[in-house]
Amino acid sequence: MTSIADIVAEHAHREGPLLPILHDVQKAFGYVSEDAMRDIAQALNLTRAEVYGVVSFYHDFRKEAEARPILKLCRAEACKARGVDALVPIAENQSRVKVEAVYCLGMCSVGPAALVGDQVIARLDATRLSSLLEAM
């Protein structure tokens, strides 16, 4: 099992190691805990407030564990133009999957788009979204 110390050691030699460390901590543990922020701050000789500020600034970082799978549904303009607003109620009228808004996944021409883990899903419609939610 990976530890915070392992992740810090992997990136400590880099210039600007904080963001890669936070990304890897979240990937390993699903969120960046208060304890992790404290340990990272200590290891990088930063204040806890500096680490907390970065975690709070970027919406992708979680400060608490989320037990449900997460679907990130693009709500930016191109996906809006391609009909994402009609999909939002389908996504939000269930409780098994946590649905979050994101603003552009770089798949504008094939939206509406969503992200599950590292996988981008394009050309969503009501049927595909329902199937996706059931499969998660």
Question: Contact residues for ligand FES (CB under 6 A)?
Answer: 74, 76-79, 104-108, 111, 113
Nearer to ligand FES, 22 or 105 (CB): 105
Nearer to ligand FES, 28 or 90 (CB): 90
Q: Shortest approach of ligand FES to residue 92 CB, angstroms?
A: 17
Q: Strand ranges (DSSP E) for 54-117?
A: 70-74, 98-102, 114-116
CB 33 within 8 A of CB 63: yes
Nearer to ligand FES, 50 or 100 (CB): 100
Q: Shortest approach of ligand FES to residue 121 CB, angstroms?
A: 11
CB 103 within 8 A of CB 76: yes
By CB atoms closer than 10 A (0-12, 13-18, 19+), residue 65 is exposed
Q: Shortest approach of ligand FES to residue 107 CB, angstroms?
A: 4
Q: Shortest approach of ligand FES to residue 120 CB, angstroms?
A: 8
